[in-house]
């Protein structure tokens, strides 16, 4: 049988439903047995054995026109044009065999100047609902002035179709799951995984490639502003599970977005039209904005639900710790629509330190900002990727290394330029462990973390006295309102000071071993740990 191409994809009106309203997508998903309706109105869906991203199965088409721009290695692994053609053919054949398909056509990028048109073709209605919550719908306030839709990117999601052993052998590929992306053709093919996060992250990856060439700094961060004034913007950088969504969903602040943004010459804009929040251990008291956003039109992924009452059990990890909810950004009360703001006053790096030795909050010099951004230290948290069952130390450049097609120094230099030009303060905030490492210590209290953020945003933390950490050289505040003093120095929270010293030196060495892999100015390298 001859290879099928994207042009062979049957998008005829008799079988394809385009840009259906949320209510109709929910109705079709329920009728097809793709999910159940929770008591709060959310559609609850399962993603099978893949309950997180599959980075080892994500591959980039290797072609001459982009080759020299790519950060090839563990993150960006190549797939040949012939393999990519085969993936398209398999996905197209599968989708054409389905009795119906769903198409979403919308946008990535709240700023029309830097917007991409995105077409998402799916077999399942709930995947189309997912896309319509996370990208920007046409004809909405978020989309702005109506203009004819122009497609820049196409995502072909055939997640139920796994590669057979014969196909793997023919393609010289060793997994039934494949997420293939072509930056030159602007196509994404998803095979073998129903985890909807692959849809979202593939377009973030695309923006990370496209935006630097037009002077926009693409960022894996959340963003909010003062609700009363619409000013005093703050950025929260961090990997999944470190608190981007939680900390940006603040009743005293107006949300710009929870995960992906661009910083242009005019200010910051959201890449997305929705939020994708972790909801493990979610409570109305702890995170009221996220709790209230879970209603009809939102999607709960891999969340346990009582079969009789249909009440979600947010404490259950039966399927995964990486339980998720997606909802349009305007489900957050007071969110800024369109999701655009001015230049940030504060940039906050979030790290979840599994060693339990990083301070809860510290103010960074420009050189330290570059150093900690390039290294991107955190802990890989359970459930966010396939096979991750407990936290482990992880260095992810720019707090989003798995989403970076270009070399990290490209993005680090953009950050340095933006901070210098606009005079932003930079902070390192540890949302991980205190009193000992994972298994001995405990996670920092969200109450204390919020107190740190409040002090950063109201400007008071920039005015206090600071001590210098002996190992990491970080500047630690001597007092923060509503936080016990002993919490501010991590060594004081350990019962055994010698054990802390040993653990701190161990992490410092990991930093030094990691920074050797990057070409950075010596002044930046010298801003790292002293141990």
As annotated, the active-site residues are: 53, 201, 220, 240, 244-245, 259, 324
The residue count of the chain comes to 531
- What's the CA gap between 134 and 511, in Å, rounded? 35
DSSP string across 309-334:
T--EETT--SS-S--EEEEEGGGSTT
Residues 6+ apart with CB under 8 A from 455: 461, 477, 480, 481
Residue 156: helix, strand or coil by DSSP?
A: strand
Report yes or no: 323 and 279 within 8 Å, Cβ to Cβ. yes
CA 257 to the chain's CA centroid: 11
Peptide bond into 343 cis (omega under 30): no
Residues 6+ apart with CB under 8 A from 462: 363, 425, 456
Helix (H) or strand (E) holding 302: none
- What's the CA gap between 215 and 323, in Å, rounded? 35
Report yes or no: 497 and 491 within 8 Å, Cβ to Cβ. yes
β-pair type (178-182, 153-158): unpaired
How buried is residue 214: exposed, middle or buried, by Cβ count under 10 Å (0-12/13-18/19+)? exposed
| Helical H segments across 188-286, by residue range | 197-210, 244-248
- What's the CA gap between 466 and 477, in Å, rounded? 4
Angle at 63 between CA 60 and CA 68, to 5 degrees: 90
Pick from 158, 164, 176, 108: which is nearest to 136 by CA?
108
Report yes or no: 402 and 395 within 8 Å, Cβ to Cβ. no
């Amino acid at each position: 049988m001859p290879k099928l191409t994207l042009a062979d994809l049957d998008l005829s009106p008799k079988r394809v439903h385009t840009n259906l309203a949320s209510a109709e997508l929910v109705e079709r998903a329920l009728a097809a047995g793709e999910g159940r309706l929770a008591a709060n109105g959310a559609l609850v869906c399962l993603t099978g054995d893949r309950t997180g991203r599959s980075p080892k199965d994500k591959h980039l088409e290797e072609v001459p026109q982009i080759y020299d721009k790519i950060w090839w290695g563990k993150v960006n692994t190549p797939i040949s044009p012939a393999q990519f053609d085969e993936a398209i053919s398999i996905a197209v054949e599968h989708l054409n065999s389905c009795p119906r398909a769903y198409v979403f056509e919308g946008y990535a990028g709240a700023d029309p100047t830097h917007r991409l048109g995105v077409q998402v073709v799916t077999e399942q209605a709930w995947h189309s609902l997912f896309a319509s919550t996370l990208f920007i719908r046409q004809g909405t306030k978020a989309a702005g002035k109506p203009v004819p839709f122009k497609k820049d990117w196409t995502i072909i999601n055939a997640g139920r179709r796994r590669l057979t052993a014969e196909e793997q052998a023919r393609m010289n590929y060793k997994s039934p799951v494949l997420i293939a992306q072509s930056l030159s053709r602007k196509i994404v093919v998803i095979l073998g995984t129903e985890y909807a996060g692959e849809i979202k992250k593939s377009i973030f990856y695309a923006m990370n490639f496209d935006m630097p060439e037009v002077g926009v700094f693409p960022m894996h961060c959340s963003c909010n502003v003062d609700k009363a004034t619409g000013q005093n913007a703050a950025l929260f950088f961090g990997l999944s599970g470190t608190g981007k969504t939680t900390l940006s969903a603040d009743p005293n602040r107006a949300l710009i977005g929870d995960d992906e943004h661009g910083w242009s010459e005019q200010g910051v804009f959201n890449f997305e039209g929705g939020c994708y929040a972790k909801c493990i251990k979610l409570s109305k008291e702890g995170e009221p904005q996220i709790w209230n956003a879970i209603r009809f039109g939102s999607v709960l992924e891999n969340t346990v639900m009582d079969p009789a009452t249909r009440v979600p059990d947010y404490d259950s990890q039966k399927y995964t710790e990486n339980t998720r909810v997606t909802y349009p950004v305007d489900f957050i009360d007071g969110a800024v629509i369109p999701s655009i703001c001015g230049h940030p006053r504060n940039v906050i790096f979030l790290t979840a330190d599994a060693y339990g030795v990083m301070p809860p909050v510290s103010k960074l010099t420009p050189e330290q900002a570059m150093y900690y951004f390039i290294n991107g230290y955190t802990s890989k948290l359970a459930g966010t990727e396939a096979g991750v069952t407990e936290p482990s130390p992880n260095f992810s450049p720019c707090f989003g290394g798995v989403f970076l097609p270009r070399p990290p120094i490209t993005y680090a230099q953009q950050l340095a330029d933006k901070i210098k030009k606009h005079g932003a303060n930079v902070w390192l905030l540890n949302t991980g462990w205190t009193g000992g490492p994972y298994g001995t210590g405990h996670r920092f209290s969200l109450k204390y973390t919020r107190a740190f953020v409040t002090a950063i945003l109201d400007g008071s933390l920039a005015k206090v006295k600071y001590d210098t950490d002996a190992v990491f050289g970080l500047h630690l505040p001597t007092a923060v309102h509503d936080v016990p003093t002993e919490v501010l120095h991590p060594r004081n929270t350990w019962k055994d000071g010698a054990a802390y010293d040993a653990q701190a030196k161990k992490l410092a060495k990991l930093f030094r071993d990691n920074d050797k892999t990057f070409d950075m100015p010596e002044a930046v390298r010298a801003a790292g740990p002293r141990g």
